[in-house]
Structure 1
Amino acid sequence: MSRRRVLVAVAALCVLACAGLLFPAVQKVREAAARMTCQSHFKQLALALHMCADSAGGSFPQGTRTDASLPPERRWSWYLAVLAQWSDLDEPGVVRRSDPTCGPGDPRNGAAVSARFRHLICPSSGEYVRDENGEHWKSPTPLTHYVGVAGVGADAAELPPEHPRAGVFGYDRRTSLKDGFPDGTSNTLLLIETANEPGHWAFGGRATVRAFEPRAAPYIGPGRPFGGLHNGGPVLTGERLHTCTAALADGSVRSLTRATAPEVLEALATAGGKEELPAAW
């Protein structure tokens, strides 16, 4: 092989090597940006929920709205209350066009529930893309990856507010900021993200309210009940650090990881379980 061909081959190998090193770095930057956007969504939602509490005597909204004779999964979700407070988000005029006296599945609410909100989905999911050709959505159904935390156990959303396994969101309960948090608002989960069968933002039930069920632990990561959207991007060595964005009842936003112990997450899921939490959870 001639000297020139050797130099060309070496140069090509160097380019390929640099590209191989650059790709993971670019992916990590993109994932970091998506995670920051996701955290911003949570901060805005938490603020809107506190505004809901301010306008409703100091209590967070119920997990579901509308006639209690309907099953929870056929009632309006708590997002309708959030949209009423978050006017910048409700550009489609969902609140104005909705009829809260009947469920979101009623034909009279067809136009309202067809609205899509990019602030209710995780940017890492690929559900929403905006380019020079406009907005594109992957799913035919409007979704949310952000759910209210009901507490611990399959029946958590149906428990009374004073129950030690009850979290912030119950189908027929409100949690008072004044006396509904024996554990403290900074130690109680308000919202958490999930890639596990995300549901329609307008409907109650599992679509927008979920509990930590011990039989499903561990809780965070791909294929697990929560998280599964942020994997830190490609890595050359070691394992990916799967993270999960969550908002606490005091309005702060945290990143949990798959290393967060199940018992810690269960303690955070309750508003008055009086569990002991490690100092650096």
Structure 2
Amino acid sequence: MICKKNRLGFTLVELLVVIAIIGVLVGLLLPAVQAAREAARRMQCSNNLKQMGLAIHNHESSFKYMPAAEKDLPAATYPSPPNPYGSLATYGTLFHLLPFMEQMNIYNLVDTKRSYIDPVNMQPPYGTASPLAASPVSTFLCPSAPANAPSDYGPYFASVGLDLGPYVAPRTDYIPIKGLHRSLAVCAGKANTTTQNGLLGTSDPEKKPHIKFGEVSDGLSNTILFAELAGRQKLYFRGKPLPGNSLADGGLTLNSYYGDSNTAREMRGYSGADILNPTQAGCSAINVMNLNGPYAFHPGGVLIAMGDGSVHFLSDSVSTIVFAGLVTRDGGESVSLEQ
């Protein structure tokens, strides 16, 4: 008598059913995992802005004014030897926050009595020999933004006639708010002029370093201090990279270096009909293009820090009238984040 052994195992049909079930589970769980990861990244981004807001308050408490969005050093007291490149531009707002963010060691790498475009602060062969080139600050980087390489200022310097070769600089995904660009002013129904009346900007050169909290008549809680402007080593339009367009071309990388005074921007308004998609008419300000307006890689909007240090998520559908009102520090507009 021959006994047949029963073979244990999956039939082909059973195997296919198991694979199908696993596929369904992965399809259900993957979006949840991705959402959880983005929530963690967004929380870290929010914490970065909170640290920057706290640093502004500590600076104002120590010096009785906020650090300048932009400032030229006085030519009469510029140290010897003079800057052969002629620039008197000093370091920007974010750089001057470093001592209040436990980054004094980075702050001390340069001579703040000299321009950031000065051979003393850009030792040859420039490039990675620059004191700040190897000193990125994680607080200035949003974890949701693409991990692009540091900014190369070489093309910018070449565009203005300075043959300095490569000059690598650590980037930032956040910007100080300097004022309203005329494009946003027009979108918001204002005059066709650019004004530097943001929380960290003024058109009065005598007051650039000396804006105080008490001069913010619209209220610190109603005025934007910092906003995301991320991924600026490449050009992005409505979430998609523009092929063949790099911010290193034509010197546009200038506003992505945390030490640069040009990091501060006047906020721009965009009309979809004027850029790439003629079917999207009308004015927008948030998440259109990462050139001179708030831009983030969080779904649905950007994170902003207000003058009082609070951090909020601003929807990309916000009215340009409301956004423009939140940009100005003394415009007298009756707007708030709840609108």
TM-score bracket, shorter-length normalisation: 0.7 to 0.9
Per-residue CA shift, 1:49-98, capped at 9, x if unaligned?
Answer: 111111112x21111245266768x5311123211222x234xx122221
Distance in 2, matches of 1:192 and 1:68, equals 30
Q: Which sections of structure 1, spanning at least 5 residues, go unmatched?
A: 128-136, 157-162, 232-241
Residues 68 and 266 (structure 1 numbering): CA distance in 2 closer, same or farther, change over 3 Å? farther
1:181 to 199, 204, 216: 216
Q: Which residue number in structure 2 is paired with residue 21 of structure 1?
A: 28
Per-residue CA shift, 1:195-227, capped at 9, x if unaligned?
Answer: 26361111111xx21122335641212535212
Contact 2:222 2:336 in 1 (8 A): no
Distance in 2, matches of 1:262 and 1:45, equals 25
Q: Does 1:76 align with 2:91?
A: yes
Q: Which runs of 4+ in 1 moved over 6 A?
A: 69-72
1:167 to 180, 189, 198: 198
Residues 68 and 211 (structure 1 numbering): CA distance in 2 closer, same or farther, change over 3 Å? farther
Residues 71-220 of structure 1 correspond to what in structure 2 (within 5 A)?
A: 74-86=89-101, 88-90=102-104, 93-110=105-122, 111-114=130-133, 115-127=135-147, 138-139=149-150, 141-153=169-181, 166-170=197-201, 172=205, 173=208, 174-178=210-214, 180-195=215-230, 197=232, 199-205=256-262, 208-215=263-270, 217-220=283-286
Distance in 2, matches of 1:229 and 1:215, equals 18
Aligned-partner SS, 1:112? coil
RMSD: 2.7
The residue type paired with residue 14 of structure 2 is L
Q: Which residue number in structure 2 is paired with residue 67 of structure 1?
A: 73
Q: Which residue number in structure 1 is paired with residue 322 of structure 2?
A: 264
Residues 155 and 7 (structure 1 numbering): CA distance in 2 closer, same or farther, change over 3 Å? closer
Contact 1:80 1:95 in 2 (8 A): yes
Q: Which sections of structure 2, spanning at least 5 residues, go unmatched?
A: 1-9, 76-85, 123-129, 152-168, 185-193, 233-254, 272-282
Contact 2:222 2:337 in 1 (8 A): no
Aligned-partner SS, 2:313? strand
Distance in 2, matches of 1:210 and 1:246, equals 14
Larger C-alpha radius of gyration, 1 or 2? 2
Q: Percent identity?
A: 24
Per-residue CA shift, 1:230-254, capped at 9, x if unaligned?
Answer: 12xxxxxxxxxx2201100011111
Q: Which residue number in structure 1 is paired with residue 13 of structure 2?
A: 6
Q: Which residue number in structure 1 is paired with residue 82 of structure 2?
A: none
Residues 31 and 202 (structure 1 numbering): CA distance in 2 closer, same or farther, change over 3 Å? same
Distance in 2, matches of 1:124 and 1:251, equals 21
1:99 Cα offset (Å): 0.6
TM-score of the two chains, using structure 2 as the length reference: 0.66
Between the two structures, name the one with larger relative contact order (CA 8 Å, sep ≥ 6).
1
Per-residue CA shift, 1:134-171, capped at 9, x if unaligned?
Answer: xxx73354100110111212599xxxxxx986111127
Contact 2:146 2:231 in 1 (8 A): no
The residue type paired with residue 93 of structure 2 is W
Distance in 1, matches of 2:20 and 2:66, equals 59
Aligned-partner SS, 1:64? coil
1:109 Cα offset (Å): 1.7
Distance in 2, matches of 1:155 and 1:109, equals 35
